[in-house]
Chain A
Amino acid sequence: MESGSGEGTGGFSAMDDYETLISTTDADLLKRSWRNEKAAPEILQFESSLVQRSREQIQLMEETVEEFMKNGEDPLTVSLYQMDIDRTLFLLRSYLRTRLQKIEKFMFHIQKTADLWTRLSRQEQKFAKRSIEDMKQHLEQSVLTKLPDRYKSHLKQSVISEEDDMVMEPKLDAFVICRTRKFLGSLPVDDSGEENPLDMYAGDIYALRYKSIKPLIETGQLDLV
């Protein structure tokens, strides 16, 4: 957890870390990952162990509920447990679905960028591969084979294109809205020459360029909201 936050934050942030350590449940972590994934323009690292743990917890709880029903436990208690499971299930499903939507949108870009490809889970990679094949086949069958030779690529507009200019890429210059988890000191947010540091205190909400705060999201110091 290194932040370039400079002096004066030592004891404070250590205490903060301790507090998040003891008070953060997997439910909170899942909620945070869901929000970040929904608000970030690009696909983020797959939270494999968190998803695994959440799955196990849901399964465990479902077994508990079944047992309750068998033992004739108070229906109110059972329904509350069920509501809790449903809420967690919703978060998990929505998290996974948000990722699939991004994969569908940026599949060709993700495929050719090693760094992005490794962010996917095994199942997501499988899904991406199949989507890519299907999309390629579809484009070829419906349009590309009927075009003149130099326009047959599904990645390029024509053979003289220097880059893959038909590949949709996430806009990393997009602005996002984020909330700080703790005091971050001054943050250089402006990379276009001018120094323009921001003093960010815990709980502050800012609209910032995604690219400039990306590392802070990855280390969990900022949350997207």
Chain B
Amino acid sequence: MSGQSDPRGFTFSAAELEFLAEDETMEIVPNLSMERLSLISGDFGPFRPQIATQVPIWLAVALKKRGKCTIRPPDWMSVEKLTQVLEAERDSASSFEALPFHYVEISRLLFDHARDDIPDVYMVRSLIEDIKDVRFHKIGTGLEKLSSRTYAMKLNLSAMEVNVIRPFVTGGLETFYKLGNPDMIQESERQEYRRPQAADRGPRRELRR
């Protein structure tokens, strides 16, 4: 059993991560009147034209698709904020700036469905791409520090980043743990010297002798 790796690899698919991100709330300005929605995921509204309100992204996108609202991009998605983040990311070799846990998915959803609501959309988009690249480069360098002495690894990253490096990190740590585990070493020694026939492939070994 030891050599088996998990065939699933990624625990969550990209679509599932997007699904999770769609529950984050966002401010919208509706242009219709609609009563309060009492949904399973919470109560939202009432909706009145020109009055901003907070809704989950899936709801915002659904209204946007029908032309019933404009989405107000979150503060962190402004050129000014993103430029700061990018500079800070570049300045520090190891630490990561605080971005929303789902920043990749949220920005992607807004680029896909609400381009016209984002000021300087091209600039914002390229800044986010740059931030993503810089962070991934740092993650790659950070992973080189993984060693047999790592019992826990702090990964204050976003959902997508965590998901991408998950198979490597968990697999690597697990292998180091296995190799460094004194019980394991003793057990394999015991199996080798003390009970040659008792092990699972007993009969075959007898044949070979």
Which A residues fall within an 8 A CB radius of B?
25-27, 31, 35, 38-39, 54, 57-58, 61, 74, 76-77, 79-81, 83-85, 87-88, 90, 150, 157-158, 160-162, 165, 168-169, 171, 173-177, 189-190, 192, 196, 198, 203-209, 225
Question: For residue A80, which residues in chain B have a CB less than 8 angstroms away from its CB?
Answer: 37, 39, 59, 62
Q: How many A-B residue pairs have CB under 8 A?
A: 121
Instruction: Find B35's partner among A77, A203, A204 (CB 8 Å cutoff).
Output: A77
Q: How many residues of B contact A (CB 8 A)?
A: 46
Closest chain-B Cβ to A183's Cβ sits at a distance in Å of 15
Interface readout for B178-209 with A: 1 if CB under 8 Å, 0 if not?
A: 10111000000000000001101111000000
Question: For residue B68, which residues in chain A have a CB less than 8 angstroms away from its CB?
Answer: 76
Instruction: Find B169's partner among A76, A168, A169, A175 (CB 8 Å cutoff).
Output: A175
Q: Is the CB of B152 within 8 A of A198?
A: yes
Instruction: Find A81's partner among B20, B23, B39, B182 (CB 8 Å cutoff).
Output: B39
Interface readout for B1-43 with A: 1 if CB under 8 Å, 0 if not?
A: 1000010000110000001101100000000101101011110
CA distance A134 to B22 in the complex (A): 41
Instruction: Find B153's partner among A158, A161, A190, A207 (CB 8 Å cutoff).
Output: A207
B50 interface hit (Cβ, 8 Å): no
B174 interface hit (Cβ, 8 Å): yes
Which B residues fall within an 8 A CB radius of A?
1, 6, 11-12, 19-20, 22-23, 32, 34-35, 37, 39-42, 58-59, 62, 66, 68, 151-157, 159, 162, 166, 169-170, 173-174, 177-178, 180-182, 197-198, 200-203
CA distance A46 to B22 in the complex (A): 26
Closest chain-B Cβ to A222's Cβ sits at a distance in Å of 12
Q: List 18 A-B contacts (CB under 8 A).
A: A25-B42, A26-B40, A27-B41, A35-B20, A57-B40, A77-B34, A84-B40, A84-B41, A87-B41, A157-B201, A160-B202, A161-B200, A173-B174, A174-B174, A175-B174, A196-B152, A205-B154, A209-B177
Question: For residue B155, which residues in chain A have a CB less than 8 angstroms away from its CB?
Answer: 177, 205-207
Instruction: Find B152's partner among A84, A158, A206 (CB 8 Å cutoff).
Output: A206
Sort A-B residue pairs by CB-CB distance and give the 10 closest, nearest first: A84-B39, A175-B170, A207-B153, A27-B41, A175-B173, A190-B151, A157-B200, A189-B152, A88-B40, A205-B155
